[in-house]
């Protein structure tokens, strides 16, 4: 009897063949919160997880699903340690990782980690998976197939096959969500006499009602509640910085959707402006309002303040701030407060913002017309 | 070890113990010579001057080179036989790397990869991996411009992490942040000073939890803290506030303004503030006395250093200025090959500086008018400050980490 059972005990003692139950330490990592809450327990749990065998990788990756960004980082670091050992021992469970990647019910973060691991273990396999990721919910994963399509288009151009190049670049642009790739593809397509509608691709809101200037003396206007924050009456007139102010219509001609207060109101300093736009949504849905602005700003959606930022002239870029929100079906009102300060240097002239509505991947959500 | 020695009674075993102890002490001595520590931005006490007896050779060569991904202008730090450096990679620099290399041969001991939870926008010249990590000898603390902060033990085990912009949503700077943390007496002091939600905080090194958090001037700030007699001196446009590391309570406060880029330097009891040029301060608990001020000693981006009886400043034109520590009087000027983003460091009687074009320069400051004694072309853009340890100098670019020996 003893001799018969002995090999089974030996097998049971080997972690190589069976995943351990890591649910408790994973939960400890998922429980971390702001200001270091849960760090002590997480530190101990992390040590337990990294001792696990590669067979546990899918469980640790699944632990990242829906985790807050801090917990995601705890788990990402643990995956890295387990994977490093598995790669050295050539034991990375590649097939399981492929299945994890393909299951779009998993969160984008761990799926990106899974793809990176597949790439490290088997670059050819990763490349074969790349075309399937063109319309992925992860903008990170989309980069790979978009890059391949750029290469394919360039190769077609080398062979003087303009149509094939246009097809590749157009397909690439359809999948591209990162600004650098969008800019590159736009240039390539325009060089081939193709039209690209960038405001539509990004989902910039181009038409607004604007009112300005209210006073931002001593930067106090940022926290001053002017009438547009209390009511949106587009036929009303209010006391402004020096004279009465009223709403005007403004449509941007900038293909990156810049709404420039200097254009209708002159080069004002120490001034506050407001911009309001309707956004008709076909459904109730989660969304992101993304804003780029180098002035002080606040954004409200349907009367709810989403975020406020009092930094001036340190730079602006596309998607500088991502504001998760919930669109309601039908009319949504977006209100932007844009504050210009007192600085007089040439690089402080801008009094503008750009704003788009999109999903978490960066795919434009277009308003119903 | 002492306890073991006391228990040994026989003459033979005493002799054996003495031999063993001698060997151990000798080995420890050797090891301290071979690998001494450079634990933070500008090394021991943030002075930029090596405290080791062993100094780099007169003529240096590249001993090894290691590849790095993405971007980075944080300086390397050295703990024992390990060199730590940080990088950020990816299209938006959202991927964060912490590396540990073997100081002896440049092989990678470990790498940890994380993701930003804060904002990654920076001026194109800088990067998300801008603040230099620091260590208390047991742990490494890696802070990034995104306000992500990680604590590892020397073996690469993640001890704790924080997302300071995740915690305090307006703590960010669209030009990027670069203030390097310091660690003192069990407290890690971090600064996240910007135009909006500006603060400094003392964190428990064991847990990463706040021990204290101070509101700081609402103004972008890239200068790093200096250490003054058991206090942490926080520099900003308003001046320099020295606080107790454990509590954040004020020790003294100098309020006549200071630079937001180059950092001040301490030598002995005195602090040489980058304030209206250089202002020599004699702080005491509760008060600060100004000893001298020289507005012509005007550092560009690089922080000053004190070596012997002199202070050295690299101005915005890449000119190294030597001045008296007693009164700030200028002694000579030496035009280096600039421009400089990183700060000079020193060991023995030499000063070392790397310009933005990657030209590593060794300077003999005791020469009558100063003299550049060696140049090494690293052939890459270098925007960071070197580290000195074990008779070697470590320099990094975006893509490379070099050991010069």
Q: Are residues A119 and A145 in the same domain?
A: no
Contacts of residue B117, defined as CB under 8 A and 6 or more positions apart, other chains included, come to A69, A70, A73, B146, B147, B148, B163, B165, B166
Asked if residue A352 and residue A337 are part of one domain, the reply reads yes
Contact call for A73 and B161, based on CB within 8 A? yes
Identify the residue whose tokens are 């990242």: A64
User: Taking the CB of residue A262, how many other CB atoms lie within 10 A of it?
Assistant: 16
In B248-294, beta strands by DSSP E: 250-254, 265-267, 270-274, 278-284, 287-294
Domain boundary among A133, A154, A173: A133
Which among B90, B195, B209 is the nearest to A36, CB-wise?
A: B209
Q: A126 lies in a domain?
A: yes
CA dist., res. B96 & res. B128, Å (int)? 8
B175 in contact with chain A, both atoms CB, cutoff 8 A: yes
pLDDT confidence of residue B15: 42
Distance in angstroms between the alpha carbons of the first and the last residue of chain B:
34
Q: Same structural domain for residues A206 and A169?
A: no
B87 and B28 in a single domain? The answer is no
Does the distance separating the beta carbons of A178 and B115 come in below 8 Å?
A: no
Residues A241 and A319 grouped into a single domain:
yes
Q: Could you give the count of Cα atoms lying within 13 Å of B121 in the half-sphere of its Cβ?
A: 17
- Residues B260, B261, B267, B272, CA torsion sign: negative
Give the tokens for residue A144: 């790979």
Question: How far from chain centre, in Å, is Cα B71?
Answer: 18
Look at residue A2 and tell me if it is in a domain: no
* CB nearest to B115's CB, from A46, A76, A311: A76
Q: What is the mean pLDDT of chain B?
A: 92
Minimal Cβ distance to B207: which of A36, A50, A311: A36
Helix axes A179-191, A139-158, angle to 10 degrees: 20
Search chain A and give the residue with CA nearest B174: A314
Please indicate, yes or no, whether residues A317 and A352 belong to a single structural domain of this protein.
yes
A291 and A206 part of one domain: yes
Which positions 126-155 of B are in contact with A (Cβ < 8 Å)? 148, 150
Q: What is the pLDDT of residue A19?
A: 67
Q: Which domain holds residue B271?
A: 35-404
Contact between chains at A69 and B169 (C-beta distance less than 8 A):
no
What is the least distance, in Å, from the CA of B171 to any CA of chain A? Answer: 10
Helix (H) or strand (E) holding A324: strand A321-327
Residues of chain A with C-beta less than 8 angstroms from the C-beta of B208: 36, 39
For residue A5, tell me if it sits in a domain. Answer: no
Q: Closest Cα partner for A175 from A368, A362, A323?
A: A362
Q: What pLDDT is attached to residue A369?
A: 76
The residue with tokens 């938006």 is B92
Q: Phi, psi (5° rounding) for residue A16?
A: -65, -25
Strand partners, B380: none
Nearest of B387, B389, B391 to residue B74 by alpha carbon: B387
Q: Which long-range contacts (CB under 8 A, 24 or more apart) does A21-30 make?
A: A22/A48, A22/A49, A22/A52, A22/A56, A22/A59, A22/A60, A22/A63, A23/A59, A25/A49, A26/A59, A26/A60, A26/A63, A26/A75, A29/A63, A29/A67, A29/A71, A29/A74, A29/A75, A29/A78, A30/A63, A30/A67, A30/A68, A30/A71, A30/A75
CA distance B49 to chain A (A): 34
Scanning the structure block, which residue is given the tokens 């702080």? B283
Tokens, residue A266: 């002159």
Mutate to test the interface with B, among A74, A314, A319, A362 (most CBs of B within 10 A): A314
What are the tokens at A280?
């008709």
Percentages helix, strand, coil for chain B, rounded to the nearest 5?
Answer: 10, 45, 50
Query: Strand B387-389 relative to strand B392-396: parallel, antiparallel, unpaired?
Result: antiparallel
One domain for residues A103 and A48:
yes
pTM of the entire predicted model: 0.92
Asked if B107 reaches chain A (Cβ–Cβ under 8 Å), the answer is no
Q: Do B121 and A315 touch (CB under 8 A)?
A: yes
CB A67 within 8 A of CB A108: no
Indicate the pairing of strand B400-404 with strand A207-215.
unpaired
Q: Assess whether B116 and B168 both reside in one domain.
A: yes
- B169 & B139 share domain: yes
Residue where a domain stops, chosen among A133, A153, A185: A133
How many residue pairs bridge chain A and chain B with CB atoms within 8 Å of each other? Answer: 105
Cα four-point dihedral sign B391, B224, B395, B142: positive
Q: Does A117 touch chain B (CB under 8 A)?
A: no
The verdict on B13 and B40 lying in the same domain is no
Exposed/middle/buried for residue A147 (C-beta within 10 Å: 0-12, 13-18, 19+): middle
Nearest CB partner across the interface for A76, out of B113, B157, B203: B113
pLDDT of A18 reads: 55
pLDDT digits (tens, 9 = 90+) for A140-174: 999 999 999 999 999 999 999 999 999 999 999 99
Whether B59 and B25 share a structural domain = no
Considering only alpha carbons, which residue of chain B is nearest residue A312? Answer: B195
Instruction: Please give the DSSP secondary-structure letter assigned to residue B342.
Output: S
Residues in chain A: 369
User: Residue B157 and residue A109: Cβ atoms within 8 Å?
Assistant: no
Residues 6+ apart with CB under 8 A from A242: A213
Phi-psi sector, B234: left (phi>0), alpha (psi -120 to 50), beta: beta
Q: What is the DSSP letter of A258?
A: -
Say whether residue A69 is in contact with chain B using an 8 A CB cutoff: yes
Provide the domain limits for residue A260.
Answer: 202-358
Q: Which of residues 162-191 of A touch B (CB under 8 A)?
A: 178, 180
DSSP, collapsed to helix, strand or coil, labels residue A149 as helix
Nearest CA among A60, A68, A58 for reference residue A102 = A58
Q: Which residues of A touch B156 (CB under 8 A)?
A: 81
The whole-number pLDDT of residue B101 equals 98
Q: How close B112 comes to chain A (CA, Å)? A: 6
**Whole-number Å distance between alpha carbons of B238 and B224:** 14
Judgement on whether residues B17 and B94 belong to the same structural domain of the protein: no
For the segment A201-222, what is each residue's pLDDT rounded down to a tens digit? 999 999 999 999 999 999 999 9
Q: Which of B138, B137, B123, B148 is nearest to B73 (CA)?
A: B123
Looking at the 3D structure of chain A, how many domains does it have?
A: 3
Q: Is the pLDDT assigned to residue B16 strictly greater than 60?
A: no
A182-188's contacts with Cβ under 8 Å and 24+ in sequence apart are A184/A150, A185/A146, A185/A150, A188/A150, A188/A153
| Minimal CA separation from A105 to chain B, in Å | 21
Q: Are residues B133 and B277 in the same domain?
A: yes
Q: In this structure, are B63 and B23 located in the same domain? A: no
Tell me the H-state helices in A89-138.
94-102, 108-121, 123-129
Enter the tokens of residue B199.
């603060």
Q: What is the mean pLDDT of residues B135-146?
A: 98
pLDDT, residue A238, reads: 98
pLDDT, tens digit only, all 369 positions of chain A = 344 444 443 444 344 445 689 999 999 999 999 999 999 999 999 999 999 999 999 999 999 999 999 999 999 999 999 999 999 999 999 999 999 999 999 999 999 999 999 999 999 999 999 999 999 999 999 999 999 999 999 999 999 999 999 999 999 999 999 999 999 999 999 999 999 999 999 999 999 999 999 999 999 999 999 999 999 999 999 999 999 999 999 999 999 999 999 999 999 999 999 999 999 999 999 999 999 999 999 999 999 999 999 999 999 999 999 999 999 999 999 999 999 999 999 999 999 999 999 999 999 999 997
DSSP code per residue over B71-128? B--PPPEEETTEEEEEEEESTTS-EEEEEEEETTT--EEEEEEEE-SS-----TTS-S
Give dist(CA B191, CA B263) in Å, integer.
Answer: 13
Q: B292-327, pLDDT tens digit by residue? A: 999 999 999 999 999 999 999 999 999 999 999 999
Tokens of B118: 């804060």
Asked whether residue B15 falls in the same domain as residue B109, the answer is no
Q: Given CB atoms, is B173 within the 8 Å cutoff of chain A? A: yes
- Continuous H helices in B286-364: none
Pair A120, A171 in one domain: no
Are A305 and A212 in a shared domain? Answer: yes
Distance from CA of A348 to the nearest CA of B (A): 14
| Co-location of A59 and A91 in the same domain | yes
Q: Report yes or no: B217 at the A interface, CB cutoff 8 Å.
A: no
Residues B18 and B60 reside in one and the same domain: no
Closest CA to A146 of A129, A162, A168: A168
**A237, A278: one domain:** yes
CATH number for the domain harbouring residue B251: 2.130.10.10
Residue A366 inside a domain? The answer is no
> CB distance B173–A40 less than 8 Å?
no
**Nearby residues of B267 by Cβ (< 8 Å), 6 or more positions away:** B47, B306, B325
Q: For residue A263, give how far its alpha carbon lies from the nearest alpha carbon of chain B (Å).
A: 25
Nearest to B208 among A36, A84, A315 (CB): A36
Per-residue pLDDT reduced to its tens digit, B36-95: 799 999 999 999 999 999 999 999 999 999 999 999 999 999 999 999 999 999 999 999
Closest residue to A178, CB basis, from B91, B203, B218 = B91
Residue A256 region, left (φ>0) first, then alpha (ψ -120 to 50), else beta? alpha
Q: Do B24 and B46 fall within a single domain?
A: no
Q: How far is A67 from chain B (nearest CA, A)?
A: 12
HSE at residue A247, side-chain half, CA atoms within 13 A, is 17
Whether B357 and B382 map to the same domain: the answer is yes
A74 near A29, Cβ under 8 Å? yes
| Mutate which: A32, A33, A35, vs B, most B CBs within 10 A | A35
**Cβ–Cβ gap B161/A72 under 8 Å:** no
Residues A294 and A148 in one domain: no
d(CA B314, CA A336): 45
Contacts of B112 in chain A (CB under 8 A): 77, 80-81
How many structural domains compose chain B? Answer: 2
Omega prior to A151 cis, within 30 of 0:
no
How many Cβ atoms are within 10 Å of B3's Cβ, its own excluded? 6
Instruction: With beta carbons less than 8 A apart as the criterion, state whether A271 and A359 touch.
Output: no
Distance from CA of A23 to the nearest CA of B (A): 19
First to last CA, chain A: 79
């Amino acid at each position: 009897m003893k001799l018969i059972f002995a090999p089974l005990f030996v097998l049971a003692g080997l972690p190589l063949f069976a995943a351990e139950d890591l649910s408790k330490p994973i939960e400890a990592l998922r429980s971390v919160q702001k200001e270091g809450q849960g760090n002590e327990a997480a530190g101990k749990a992390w040590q337990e997880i990294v001792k696990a065998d590669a067979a546990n990788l899918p469980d640790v990756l699944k632990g990242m699903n829906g985790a807050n960004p801090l917990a995601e980082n705890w788990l990402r670091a643990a995956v890295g340690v387990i994977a490093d050992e598995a790669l050295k021992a050539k034991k990375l469970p590649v097939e399981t990782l492929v299945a994890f990647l393909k299951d779009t019910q998993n969160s984008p973060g761990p799926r990106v980690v899974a793809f990176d691991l597949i790439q490290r273990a088997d670059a050819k396999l990763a490349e074969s998976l790349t075309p399937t990721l063109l319309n992925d919910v992860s903008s990170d994963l989309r980069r790979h197939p978009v890059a391949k399509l750029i290469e394919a288009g360039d190769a077609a151009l080398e062979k003087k096959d303009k149509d094939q190049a246009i097809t590749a670049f157009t397909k690439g642009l359809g999948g591209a969500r990162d600004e650098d790739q969008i800019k590159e593809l736009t240039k390539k397509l325009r060089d081939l006499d193709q039209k690209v509608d960038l405001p539509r691709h990004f989902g910039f809101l181009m038409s607004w009602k604007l009112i300005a200037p209210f006073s931002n003396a001593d930067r106090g206007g940022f926290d001053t509640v002017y009438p547009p924050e209390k009511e949106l009456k587009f036929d009303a007139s209010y006391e402004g910085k020096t004279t009465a102010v009223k709403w005007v219509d403004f449509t941007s001609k900038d293909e990156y959707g810049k709404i420039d207060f200097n254009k209708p109101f002159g080069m004002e300093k120490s001034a506050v402006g407001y911009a309001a736009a309707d956004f008709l949504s076909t459904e109730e849905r989660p969304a992101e309002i993304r804003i780029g602005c180098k002035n002080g700003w606040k954004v409200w959606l349907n009367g709810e303040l989403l975020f406020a930022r009092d930094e001036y002239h340190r730079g602006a870029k596309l998607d500088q701030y991502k504001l998760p929100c919930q669109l309601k079906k039908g009319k949504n009102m977006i209100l932007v407060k844009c504050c210009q300060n007192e600085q007089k240097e040439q690089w402080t002239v801008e009094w503008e913002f750009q704003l788009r509505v999109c999903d978490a991947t960066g795919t434009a959500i277009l308003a119903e017309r | 070890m002492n306890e073991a020695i006391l228990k040994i009674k026989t003459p033979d075993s005493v002799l054996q113990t003495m031999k063993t102890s001698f060997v151990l002490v000798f080995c420890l001595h050797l090891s301290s010579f071979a690998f001494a520590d450079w634990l933070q931005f500008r090394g021991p006490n943030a002075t930029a001057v090596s405290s080791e007896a062993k100094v780099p050779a007169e003529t240096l060569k590249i001993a090894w080179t290691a590849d790095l991904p993405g971007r980075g202008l944080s300086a390397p730090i050295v703990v024992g036989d390990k060199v730590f450096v940080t990088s950020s990679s990816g299209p938006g620099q959202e991927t964060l790397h912490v590396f540990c290399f073997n100081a002896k041969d440049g092989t990678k001991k470990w790498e940890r990869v994380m993701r930003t939870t804060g904002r990654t926008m920076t001026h194109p010249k800088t990067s998300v991996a801008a603040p230099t990590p620091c260590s208390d000898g047991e742990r490494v603390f890696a802070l990034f411009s995104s306000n992500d902060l990680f604590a590892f033990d020397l073996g690469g085990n993640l001890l704790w992490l924080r997302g300071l912009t995740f915690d305090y949503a307006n703590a960010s700077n669209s030009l990027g942040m670069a203030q390097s943390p310091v660690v003192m007496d069990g407290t890690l002091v971090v600064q996240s000073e910007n135009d909006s939600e500006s603060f400094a905080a003392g964190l428990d090194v064991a847990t990463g939890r706040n021990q204290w958090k101070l509101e700081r001037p609402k103004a972008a700030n890239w200068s790093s803290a200096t250490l003054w007699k058991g206090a942490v001196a926080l520099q900003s446009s308003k001046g320099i506030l020295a606080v107790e590391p454990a509590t954040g309570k004020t020790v003294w406060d100098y309020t006549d303004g200071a630079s937001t880029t180059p950092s001040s330097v301490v030598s002995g009891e005195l602090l040489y503030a980058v304030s209206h040029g250089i202002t020599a301060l004699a702080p005491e608990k509760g008060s600060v006395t100004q000893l001298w001020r020289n507005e012509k000693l005007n550092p560009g981006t690089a922080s000053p250093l004190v070596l012997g009886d002199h202070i050295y400043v690299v101005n915005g034109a890449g000119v190294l200025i030597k001045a008296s520590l007693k009164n700030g009087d200028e002694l000579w000027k030496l035009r280096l090959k600039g421009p400089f983003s990183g700060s000079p460091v020193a060991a023995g009687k030499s000063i070392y500086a790397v310009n933005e074009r990657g030209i590593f320069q060794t300077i003999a400051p005791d020469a009558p008018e100063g003299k550049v004694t060696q140049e090494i072309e690293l052939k890459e853009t270098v925007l960071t400050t070197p580290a000195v340890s074990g008779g070697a100098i470590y320099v990094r670019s975006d893509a490379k980490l070099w050991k010069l020996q």
